[in-house]
Amino acid sequence: MAAATHPKRASLPLPGGRDGAGVVVTPMCTGEMLAMPRFFQRPSGPLPTVRGSGLLTPRRRWTWVPIPCFLVEHPEAGPILIDTGLPPAAAHNVRTALGRRAAIAFTIRMEDGWAVTDRLVALGIDPLGIGVVVMTHLHYDHTGAVAQLPGSTFVVDGREWDAAISGGLRQGYRRQLFDHGYDWRTVDFGAAQVDSFASFGRAVDLFGDGSVRLLSTPGHTKGHMSVLLRLRSGRELLLTADAAYTRRTIEDEQLPLFCDDVHRYMRSLREIRRYLELTPSALVVCGHDPEGWAEIPERYD
C-alpha cells in the first residue's frame, strides 16, 4: 500500500525560538499496559524474547506500566507535544483501536478522558492549536492520537519514519495510526550541521534557543529520540522515552525484553547515564516507569 504521507526534511531551527526561553512541562498518562515480568530486563541466554514473553506466567505477576505523553509550553512557540499516547478508541475497544492481533497480544487499561486530546481540553488548551508534535518514535503507544491533530507539524527521525512505514506489529508499529497525510518533517542526525551536546553524540536544537533539544538515542528502535528540555526555572528535564523504561534501567544498565539493536541501545543508555552523572541537578522521566510515575509532579517549571 502506498504511503499517504510524504515527509519533508525539517528546516531547523523551527520558528518560535526566544533567547533564554524556558518551558513548562505537564506529564500526561494516556493509559496503562500490562507488562510481563521480563519486560524491563530480558533473560540471558538463547531466545531471550521467547523465554521472556511471559506466556506461562500468571497475570497476577505482571505489572501495569504507564503510557505517557507530555505537554510542553514554550513562551514563544506555544504549546507542543512530546508523543501522543494511546488512541482514544482504546478506552472502549482495543481491537478497534489497534487491530485484532494487538487486542490478543496487549492488555490495556484506559478510561474516558485519558486520551491526550481530552487531557489538553481539560487543561484549557485546544488540541488544534498544538503547533508541533515531537515523536520520540512511532510505536503504537506513542502515535495513538496523531489522527486527532491534523493541524500539527510532526517531527521524527528520518530513520524512524522509514522503519515504521515498512514495519508492522511485530516491530511495534501500526501504520494506520500515523500515516494520515499530515505535515511530517524528518530530522537527519547524520547531517553535517548536527552537533553534540553534553554526553550525547548527536543532538539538534529544535527552536535554536536551547529550550528543546532532540537527542539521537537509537536502539529501542532505529530512529529513537529522547528530548532534553530547559525548564523556566533553569533546570534541565530529560525525557528518555523508551531509551530507558525506568530509572533502574539507567542505574543498572538493564537491557529490556524488546530492543531493535542491542549495541546501539546500550550506547544510548550509557550516554543518558553519563549525562545524569555530569548534570546532577537534572530531572529525568523515563518511558514506562510505574514507581517513578507514582511520584511525578503535576507539572515541571
pLDDT at position 106 is: 87
pLDDT at position 212 is: 98
What is the distance between the alpha carbons of residues 186 and 274, in angstroms, rounded to a whole number?
Answer: 27
**Residue 186 counted as domain residue:** yes
Domain count, the chain: 1
**Residue 148 counted as domain residue:** yes
Query: pLDDT tens digits, residue range 136-190?
Result: 999 999 999 999 999 999 999 999 999 999 999 889 999 999 999 999 999 999 9
What is the distance between the alpha carbons of residues 227 and 215, in angstroms, rounded to a whole number?
Answer: 6
**Residue 46 counted as domain residue:** no
pLDDT at position 20 is: 96
pLDDT at position 44 is: 87
How high is the mean pLDDT in each 10-residue block of the chain (301 residues)?
90 96 98 94 84 80 96 98 96 91 89 97 97 98 97 98 94 96 97 94 98 98 98 98 98 95 98 97 97 96 96
**Residue 23 counted as domain residue:** yes
**Residue 254 counted as domain residue:** yes
**Residue 198 counted as domain residue:** yes
What lies within 8 Å, CB to CB, of 98 at 6+ separation is 87, 90, 106, 108, 140, 174
Write the DSSP symbol of residue 60: G
**Residue 215 counted as domain residue:** yes
Q: How far is CA 271 from CA 195, 198, 245, in A?
A: 15, 9, 15
Instruction: Tell whether the torsion through CA atoms of 230, 231, 236 and 237 is positive or negative.
Output: negative
**Domain containing 240: what range?**
16-37+54-294
b/e string for 103-124 if b means 16 or more Cβ within 10 A? beebebebeeebbbbbbbeeee
CATH number of the domain bearing residue 229: 3.60.15.10
Contact 83, 142 (CB under 8 A): yes
Query: pLDDT tens digits, residue range 12-38?
Result: 999 999 999 999 999 999 999 999 999
**Residue 75 counted as domain residue:** yes
